[in-house]
C-alpha cells in the first residue's frame, strides 16, 4: 500500500467516523422517556390555532400586529373602556380603545412629543392634554395657565399651589429638565410645572421645586394574573400548568417543551398549549416555568378578558349564540 492509498484510507475512515457518530446519536440518544401526549394534544390547542370552549372563544385582539412595544391594558372602570398604548419610539405614541363589548373602536396617535403619558383618565403632554379616553375628543387642549410669566414670588406660587391643590381632583408634575428647550431661560432657572384637574379642565402653575415624582403611584394598568412563582406549577383558581411535554433538553435540568395550561375564566376552563421552558429543579421559591412571555388580564365588570403570549394579544369573549 503506497502513501496515497494510506492517506485515502485515513480520509475515508474519518468520514465514516462522522457518519457513524451522527447515526449513533440519532438512533440511540435522540429520545426522551415520557408518556404519550396525543390525548392532551387533542384537548389543548395553541393560541394561534384558535381556541373555543363551551361558552367562550379566543381570538386575536388586533388584526394587524401591534405587538411591538404594546403596553399592558389600562382599564378605566368608570368609562368601561380598555386602552392600550403602543409606541414606535418614545416620541410617537398611539393609543387604542376597546369598548365594553371588546371591540376595537378608536385610536389616536401623538407624534413628536416625548412627554405623552396616561395620567388618571387623561393623556397628558408638556404643553397640552387630551380627554380622548373619556369622550373620544381628538383635539389637543391647552392648559389654562395660572401664571404665564415667571415673575411671581415663591410665596405667591406656594399660596396659589395650596389653593389649587385643595380644589383639584388630580395633580400632575412636569420636571423642568424635560419641559423646556435647552436655551430657554426657564430651563436655567429650573421652573417646574404642576397641572391641576378642576372640573374637567387642567390648570398649569409654574414655579421652582414644584416637581414631585409620581412614578410609583397606582395607575390604571391591569395586573398580570399569571403567577410568576411556584404557584404556577400547582392547581389554583387562576391559571396553572397542568402537564408538560418535553421536546428537547437545553441543559441539565432545563427543558424546552409544550406546557398544557389550564386557565380558569368564569365557568369554563380554557385549555391552552404553549411553548415554555421548564426548570426541573428551581432554586428557592421560583417557579418551574418562566412565564414572562404570558399574561392574563381580567377587567372586573367587563364581559371579556385578555391573554397575551409573546406580545400578541388575544381576547376571550362569550360565543355568539346562533
Partner 1 sequence: MKIKLPFLKAFIIALIITIGFLIYVFINPELNSGYAGLFFLSISPAVLIGIIVYCYIIKVLDHAGLLAPHFIFRFLVPFLMISFILWIGVNTGTEPVLEAFQQYDFSEYINYFFNFAIEIYLPLAVSLAAITGMLHIGNNEVANNDSM
Distances (CA, A) of 32 to 192, 246, 291: 63, 7, 23
> Based on CB atoms, which residue is closest to partner 1, 25 or 223?
25
Total residues interacting with partner 1, rule: CB under 8 A: 25
Shortest Cβ distance from residue 251 to partner 1 (Å)? 5
CB contact at 8 A, 148 and 134: no
Nearest-angstrom CA–CA distance, 147 and 320: 56
253 forms part of the interface with partner 1 (CB under 8 A):
no
> Based on CB atoms, which residue is closest to partner 1, 54 or 252?
252
In 3D space, the residue among 88, 129, 83 whose CA is nearest the CA of residue 106 turns out to be 83
Shortest Cβ distance from residue 21 to partner 1 (Å)? 7
φ, ψ for residue 239, nearest 5 deg: -160, 140
Specify the stretch interacting with partner 1 by CB under 8 A; choose among 9-17, 106-114, 128-136, 231-239. 9-17
DSSP 1-70: --HHHHHHHHHHHHHHHHHHHHHHIIIIIS-------HHHHHH-EEGGG-EE-SSEEEEES-SS---TTB
20 forms part of the interface with partner 1 (CB under 8 A):
no
Measure CA 179 to chain center.
27
> Based on CB atoms, which residue is closest to partner 1, 21 or 109?
21
DSSP 303-322: SEEEEEETTEEEEEEEPPP-
32 forms part of the interface with partner 1 (CB under 8 A):
yes
> Based on CB atoms, which residue is closest to partner 1, 220 or 246?
246
Strands 117-119 and 144-145: unpaired
Residue 160: Cβ within 10 Å count: 18
**What are the cell numbers at 151?**
415673575
11 forms part of the interface with partner 1 (CB under 8 A):
yes
Interface positions, 137-156, toward partner 1 (CB under 8 A): none
Nearest-angstrom CA–CA distance, 136 and 96: 11
> Based on CB atoms, which residue is closest to partner 1, 249 or 275?
249
247 forms part of the interface with partner 1 (CB under 8 A):
yes
Specify the stretch interacting with partner 1 by CB under 8 A; choose among 28-36, 39-47, 88-96, 272-280. 28-36
Q: Which of 215, 248, 267, 284 binds partner 1 (CB under 8 A)?
A: 248
> Based on CB atoms, which residue is closest to partner 1, 20 or 105?
20
17 forms part of the interface with partner 1 (CB under 8 A):
yes
111 forms part of the interface with partner 1 (CB under 8 A):
no
> Based on CB atoms, which residue is closest to partner 1, 103 or 247?
247
Residues of this chain that bind partner 1 (CB under 8 A): 3-4, 6-7, 10-11, 14-15, 17-18, 21-22, 25-26, 29-32, 246-252
Amino acid at each position: 500500500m503506497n502513501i496515497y492509498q494510506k492517506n485515502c484510507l485515513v480520509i475515508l475512515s474519518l468520514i465514516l467516523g462522522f457518519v457513524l457518530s451522527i447515526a449513533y446519536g440519532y438512533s440511540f440518544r435522540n429520545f426522551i422517556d415520557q408518556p404519550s401526549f396525543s390525548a392532551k394534544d387533542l384537548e389543548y390547542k395553541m393560541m394561534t390555532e384558535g381556541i373555543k370552549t363551551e361558552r367562550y372563544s379566543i381570538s386575536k385582539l388586533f388584526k394587524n400586529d401591534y405587538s411591538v412595544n404594546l403596553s399592558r391594558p389600562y382599564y378605566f372602570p368608570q368609562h368601561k373602556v380598555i386602552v392600550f398604548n403602543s409606541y414606535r419610539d418614545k416620541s410617537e405614541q398611539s393609543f387604542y380603545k376597546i369598548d365594553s363589548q371588546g371591540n376595537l373602536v378608536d385610536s389616536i396617535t401623538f407624534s413628536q412629543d416625548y412627554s405623552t403619558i396616561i395620567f388618571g383618565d387623561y393623556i397628558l403632554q408638556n404643553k397640552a392634554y387630551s380627554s380622548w379616553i373619556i369622550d373620544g375628543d381628538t383635539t389637543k387642549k391647552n392648559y389654562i395657565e395660572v401664571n404665564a410669566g415667571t415673575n411671581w414670588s415663591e410665596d405667591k406660587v406656594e399660596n396659589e399651589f395650596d389653593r389649587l391643590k385643595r380644589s383639584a381632583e388630580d395633580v400632575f408634575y412636569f420636571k423642568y429638565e424635560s419641559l423646556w428647550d435647552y436655551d430657554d431661560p426657564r430651563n436655567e432657572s429650573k421652573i417646574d410645572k404642576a397641572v391641576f384637574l378642576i372640573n374637567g379642565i387642567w390648570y398649569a402653575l409654574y414655579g421652582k421645586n414644584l416637581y414631585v415624582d409620581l412614578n410609583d403611584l397606582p395607575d390604571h394598568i391591569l395586573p398580570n394574573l399569571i403567577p410568576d412563582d411556584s404557584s404556577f406549577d400547582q392547581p389554583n383558581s387562576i391559571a396553572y400548568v397542568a402537564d408538560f411535554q418535553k421536546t428537547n433538553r437545553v441543559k441539565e435540568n432545563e427543558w424546552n417543551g409544550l406546557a398544557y395550561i389550564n386557565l380558569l375564566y368564569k365557568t369554563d376552563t380554557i385549555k391552552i398549549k404553549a411553548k415554555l421552558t421548564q426548570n426541573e429543579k428551581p432554586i428557592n421559591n421560583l417557579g418551574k416555568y418562566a412565564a414572562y412571555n404570558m399574561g392574563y388580564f381580567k377587567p372586573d365588570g367587563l364581559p371579556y378578558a385578555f391573554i397575551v403570549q409573546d406580545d400578541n394579544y388575544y381576547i376571550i369573549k362569550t360565543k355568539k349564540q346562533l
